[in-house]
Structure 1
Amino acid sequence: MPPDRPTDARLTSAMLVGVLVRRSAAAGGFATVLVKGDAISGVILIQALEKGRELGLFERVSDLAGGYSLTRCGPDPEKGAEAMAQYLERRLRSDPDLWVIELDIADAERFAAETIC
């Protein structure tokens, strides 16, 4: 008899990103991979926009219930593109497996949470 295996198989980061890109296109939005991370377990950052207006960065993190949620991270969008670029550069230096996805769609935070969490 084979050994017991965990039943909580999870989707890979690459699969989740692919679903996000396809689902956003189907909904009339736009998603693109700015930085491709580790295909299996790379952390996913969403750079959320709505009609080109920067809304901020959101990170997919595990929650206490065993699932995932999106948490705001990085500088306030009001601080400008330079602050955002510096933050992303620091994150990529400390985590080269990181994914960065630009998502431009109505209510981007909610859309991303419904798709990848």
Structure 2
Amino acid sequence: MSDRLTSRMLASALIRRAGQEGGFATIVRKGDEVAGTILLICLERGIETGLFERIPDYAGGYRLVPCGPTGSESQTERTQYIERRTKSDPDIWLIELNIPQPERFAAETIC
């Protein structure tokens, strides 16, 4: 068996830790329990700061990278991007994270 944490375990850890730190996280869409890609909708005080994807890096770990439309683009474009991603990869997880410095917080928790 692999020593890698499953996507479900990472999503659960992110939600639990966000709550402990006074923030909020919720699963918008569940993906593959074991190896689904994780996309994060990051918000700070309810204002979207970006969409990030957890990807493997060359050092054998993981990192978060910005993906999709930027915060300055419309909500419709972000929704269309997410729909395209879920259509091409039905195993994808979509998690909304609302906490101070969400990108840093997520990187510390799931990377």
> 1:30-81 deviations in whole A, cap 9, x for unaligned?
0000000000000000100001101111100000000000000000111121
Q: What's 1:49 paired with? A: 43
Aligned-residue CA RMSD (Å): 1.0
The code of the aligned residue for 2:47 comes to R
Q: Which secondary structure does the structure 2 equivalent of 1:10 belong to?
A: coil
User: 5+ unaligned residues in a row in structure 2: which ranges?
Assistant: none
Residue from 62, 67, 73 that aligns with 2:61: 67
User: 5+ unaligned residues in a row in structure 1: which ranges?
Assistant: none
Q: What's 1:84 paired with? A: 78
The code of the aligned residue for 1:105 comes to I
Query: Does residue 58 in structure 1 map to residue 72 in structure 2?
Result: no
Q: What's 1:37 paired with? A: 31
Q: Which has the larger radius of gyration?
A: 1
Runs of 4+ in structure 1 deviating by more than 6 angstroms, as ranges, are none
Relative to the length of structure 1, the TM-score reads 0.93
The code of the aligned residue for 2:51 comes to L
Q: Which secondary structure does the structure 1 equivalent of 2:34 belong to?
A: coil
CA distance in structure 2 between the partners assigned to 1:116 and 1:76 by the alignment: 22
Count of residue correspondences: 111
CA distance in structure 2 between the partners assigned to 1:29 and 1:62 by the alignment: 26
The code of the aligned residue for 1:39 comes to E
